Amino acid sequence: MIKILLNTVIRNLYKQKVYSIVNILGLATGVTCTLLILIWVNYELSFDTYHKDIERIYTVYENQKYADGDIFSVYSTPSPLAESLKEEYPEVEYASRLVSTWGQLVLSANGKTFVETGGKIVDPDFFKIFSIPVLYGDYISPLSNESTIVLSRRLSEKLFGDIDPIGLSIEINSNYQFIVGAVVENAPENSSIHYDFFLPFKFFKEYWEYDLSDWEANSFHLFVKLKDGANSEYLAENIRHHVRQRIPYSNVELDLQAFEKYHLYSISKNKSGPIWYVQVFLLVAVLILLIACFNYMNLATARSERRAREVAIRKVVGAQRRGLVGLFLTESIVFTTIALGLGIVFVELLLPVFSDLTNRTLTLNPGNLKFLIAVVLIVLSTGVLSGSYPALFLSSFLPIQVIRGVFRQDSAMLRKVLVIIQFTMSIALFICTCVIYKQLNFLKDSDVGYNKDNIVYVEMLDDFYEEYSELKGELLKIPGVHWVTAANQMPVNFLNSTWDVNWPNKSVDSEDVLFQLSFVDFDFIETFEMDVIQGRGFSNQFGEDTLKFIINESAAEKMGMVYTIGEKISLWNYTGEVIGIVKDFNFNSLQVGVDPLIMMRKPSSFKYIGIRVGEDKDPIINKIRKVWNRKFSHIPFNYRLLEEDFNYFYQAESRMGKLFASFTAIAFIISCLGLFGLVSFITENKAREVALRKVFGANVDNVFQLLFKEILKWIVLSIAIAWIISFFAMEWWLNGFAYRIEMGIGIFIMAAVLSLLVACLTIYRQIARLVTIAPAHVLKYE
Amino acid sequence: MIKTKNLIKIFRTDEVETTALNNVNLEINEGEFVAIMGPSGCGKSTLLNIIGLLDNPSEGEMHFNGYQVENYTERQRTNLRKENIGFVFQSFNLIDELTVFENVELPLLYMKVSGSERKRRVNEALERMNIAHRAKHFPQQLSGGQQQRVAIARAVISNPKLILADEPTGNLDSANGEEVMNLLTQLNEEGTTIIMVTHSPSDADRSHRIIQLFDGHVVTENMRQKL
């Protein structure tokens, strides 16, 4: 029976080639998108899962509470916290701090020298918390010896080749000696923590002169592994005020985040983190698959006239409804299976592009059990869903109606509804894509309060401020170099903050206002072309200009100063006067607003040289490189462009925007296939009406108008529904930005015009064929 | 075998009510060959559909093989139909996507007959209808007469007690029509009851009895002498 069933299905498929191709392509496209999205989602969900006992690993983070009710959540914690938690709470089995090496280090070994930035400073417990395979050396406790360095396989091979380097020495920045204690496997790509080498905290303390017993500075990620069976909620509750118990005026509350959530979930209460993208794209996958299923339903029921006779005959000779439902479901499952085969081929072909778009190395692994389960589920659910309506509808024909010729197409209404839903979803996706693009372009192009273009910056190694002065002089001699300055950070990503700022008449309410903090050199304001509202920037015309402050508008407002300079304020134990107020500029992503900012000149903290160059950057950069190489022959000239960093802020969003656009295009294509199916059905059904109208005097134009009107009114209805849905969805999305666009009516009108145009193009040929057919040809079959 | 009592069939649309059959009382015995005649729209096909258990009457009784069936559900009617009744239509009603062999085999599939048995019976029926050489062809590759022979093979494959033929020669030329009528007559002689709707007096001549319908009423019943 099954063989006969399949035989019939395959013959049907072959006989109706256009129908089959349209249907299979629709399903295959839907399946392809769904599989691509599932592969990506699976990859995102696989992050960090390779760590043993991951359910026992937690990150400790700070919720900093501010006067205005804001809660600022950060992964940075004080250094003594790790040891203190381990001592006081029996639930904590292991605890390790983690901090990236601040900037680049020069590693020399085996006669080779490399500048490396991928160093991590961790406690020995780090290797007990995380599953990092040790390839050579100390398997039990890497890094427990404070004179050792742990290398990743990659760095070990780079420095020493294929040999076992245990016991060999490495020199860091010419005056720190380490022995290779262990070589560990590289971090897999789906790891949240990436590393090239690990160093002990002793180095951190000595090299950066950091007071590791200070409870007030917070520079460290903290990971803990709880004992088996420990209650994390109970622990989180207990450690909440741990910092405040030591620093009574601290605004910090501690909390725990399960490490499983580290990659996808935000610790900020009002942000969802990248999981949002995962959810949105899962929704998109479901929508596209639904659109493809509706498409199938539409096309399958559109052929009902053709199939009715077959159903009637089968029933006359004894088929029960159940058997016929089976037949049509088999048909849809066969279609879906073929579509899946095709979909897998498409996925293989598209994966490289998709990997590029998502910035992940994605692979199709057909042997994977999860993949197989997903595939079977997709085939069954798509097959059954898309086949369900045709099966129930077609099998419900009463043979007597078909034989008597009074058989009616009751599914017409439902089919219209399906097309309306398809188009609504596609148009809504289209509008959302346009809004997302508009917002991203707005963020990229909007005035950030300084000129981010044509800024080249280089990271300096420590202790060469003296050399910097000389370098600055030489750089300024290069034609095309307009300004040179130095700072501890570039304005794309300010990381330092403090609430230890005082000013005259500071109110209790302002006690814990968080100030961003930046240490900048002479000419900083000029280099970045910031607007000075009052006063001046730091300048060597005024001597050293230390113990002076420049603040931004927001800071002035918080301090209650109405643009007056000369006020004395103090930062930590430095007291000095405000010499300038700058217009607010964005030093973080525009998704967040501008915080109060204090700038001070503190040469010992400078890390970057910022250079404003002319439009034609490349030759100027080459000249800068020559000067650099002459002065620092042992350090490679690794420059960056500020505008590239700035764009990096929006990389995730822009990537998601591109993905969204691709899937929207696909949704549109499938919807058009649906419309094509519906129109074929209508033309089949309307042939007689059109012929009769023509016999009685209608001309081609009249009939054209009549049919277009009938079809386009559904598209208009879809447009109206899509407008409403997308408007509210995008309002909600835009409200998550500190700086946002107004959507404007343009996008909505564009979506409407475009969808009408696409719809017209889809249906034109079929309608044209119908209206030009000779009436005698249609009526003779009556 | 078939008995109807005050059979009424009314077709209703929103505004119009049409009485297709009005108080039809009939009795047809096993082994009879009955022709139903009358002008277009007189209710011939409606009567045939009710007798063939494709439709239920609006009122009255319908007995088939000793069962009172007028209130049977679709499922019950299907079960009774597939065991007992074969159909031959004017427009053949073969499934285009199935071969000749598969079309004939179809009723046996729904009766859950084994594969080997199906093969034997289909081949036998095709031989008998003189169409075995076309077993692997599709309906559209056959002439009208050939298609109708396939339809008759399908109608007899389940060895039904009753064959209902709705203008079986209506789409055929005279030679093919003659051939089809010969087959039906032969089946009747072998014991199968045949009820045939026809416009053709010469086809009706083959029957034992002619029932004349007019506007849903049985007007006359003429017994004919078997030739």
pLDDT at residue number B208: 92
pLDDT at residue number B226: 47
Query: Taking 50 as the threshold, does the pLDDT of residue B223 lie above it?
Result: yes
pLDDT at residue number B227: 42
Picking from A294-303, B51-60, B85-94, B130-139, which range would have the lowest pLDDT averaged per residue?
A294-303
pLDDT at residue number A782: 39
Asked whether residue A251 falls in the same domain as residue A281, the answer is no
CA dist A129 and B142 (Å) reads: 79
Asked whether residue A697 falls in the same domain as residue A719, the answer is yes
Domain end position, chosen among A634, A660, A675: A634
Asked whether residue A619 falls in the same domain as residue A581, the answer is yes
Look up residue B226 and give its amino acid: K
Is the minimum CB–CB distance between A307 and chain B shorter than 8 Å?
A: no
Distances (CA, A) of A61 to A57, A124, A161, A517, B88: 13, 20, 39, 21, 82
* Chain A 373-432, residues with CB within 8 Å of chain B CB atoms: 398-400, 403-404
Helix, strand or coil, per DSSP, at residue A565: coil
Residues 6 or more apart in contact with residue A14 via CB below 8 angstroms: A20
Nearest by CB: B54 against A314, A323, A400: A400
Q: Is residue A144 part of a domain?
A: yes
Domain end position, chosen among A634, A669, A693: A634
The reply to whether residue B97 touches residue A403, judged by beta carbons under 8 angstroms, is no
Is the minimum CB–CB distance between B107 and chain A shorter than 8 Å?
A: yes
CA dist A128 and A451 (Å) reads: 47
Domain end position, chosen among A236, A261, A286: A261
Asked whether residue A404 falls in the same domain as residue A419, the answer is no
Asked whether residue A39 falls in the same domain as residue A60, the answer is no
Asked whether residue A612 falls in the same domain as residue A658, the answer is no
What is the Cα B110 distance to its own chain's centre?
Answer: 18
The reply to whether residue B97 touches residue A11, judged by beta carbons under 8 angstroms, is yes
Tokens 């500020």, residue? A642
The reply to whether residue B49 touches residue A15, judged by beta carbons under 8 angstroms, is no
Asked whether residue A748 falls in the same domain as residue A774, the answer is yes
Q: Note the ipTM here.
A: 0.78
Asked whether residue A256 falls in the same domain as residue A288, the answer is no
Instruction: Give the residue ranges of DSSP H helices in B1-43.
Output: none
Domain that holds residue A12: 1-47+274-410
CA dist B202 and B192 (Å) reads: 20
Tokens 């297709």, residue? B20
Q: Is residue A760 part of a domain?
A: yes
Helix, strand or coil, per DSSP, at residue A355: helix
Question: Token pair of A371, please?
Answer: 């993949």
Q: Is residue A300 part of a domain?
A: yes
Q: Is residue A639 part of a domain?
A: no
In the A/B pair of chains, how many CB contacts fall below 8 A?
Answer: 62
Asked whether residue A490 falls in the same domain as residue A577, the answer is yes
Helix, strand or coil, per DSSP, at residue A575: strand
Asked whether residue A202 falls in the same domain as residue A332, the answer is no
Please answer whether residues A211 and A217 qualify as being in contact, where contact means their C-beta atoms are separated by less than 8 angstroms.
yes
Number of domains present in the structure of chain A: 4
Nearest by CB: B93 against A8, A11, A309: A309
How many other CB atoms are there within 10 angstroms of residue B68's CB atom? Answer: 12
Asked whether residue A589 falls in the same domain as residue A695, the answer is no
Tens of pLDDT, residues B157-184 = 988 999 999 889 988 888 888 988 998 9
All structural domains of chain B:
2-94+160-223 (3.40.50.300)
Q: Over chain A (782 residues), what is each successive 10-residue block's mean pLDDT?
A: 76 80 87 91 92 95 81 90 95 95 84 87 95 90 90 94 93 90 94 95 88 88 95 94 89 93 87 82 87 83 75 84 86 89 93 89 84 87 86 80 60 78 86 86 78 88 73 91 91 77 80 83 92 89 86 87 78 88 80 82 87 92 90 79 81 78 82 76 75 74 82 90 94 84 90 88 82 70 42
Closest CA to B188 of B157, B161, B216: B161
Nearest by CB: A319 against B93, B102, B110: B110
Q: Is residue A266 part of a domain?
A: no
Nearest by CB: A15 against B94, B97, B111: B97
Q: Which residues of chain A neighbour B82 with C-beta distances below 8 Å?
A: 317-318
pLDDT at residue number A781: 45
Kindly report the nearest CA distance between residue B69 and chain A, in angstroms.
Answer: 16
pLDDT at residue number A514: 79
pLDDT at residue number A477: 92
Q: Is residue A13 part of a domain?
A: yes
Asked whether residue A683 falls in the same domain as residue A780, the answer is yes
Residues 6 or more apart in contact with residue B4 via CB below 8 angstroms: B24, B25, B26, B27, B50, B51, B57, B60, B61, B62, B63
Closest CA to A341 of A307, A305, A379, A300: A379
Is the minimum CB–CB distance between B89 and chain A shorter than 8 Å?
A: yes
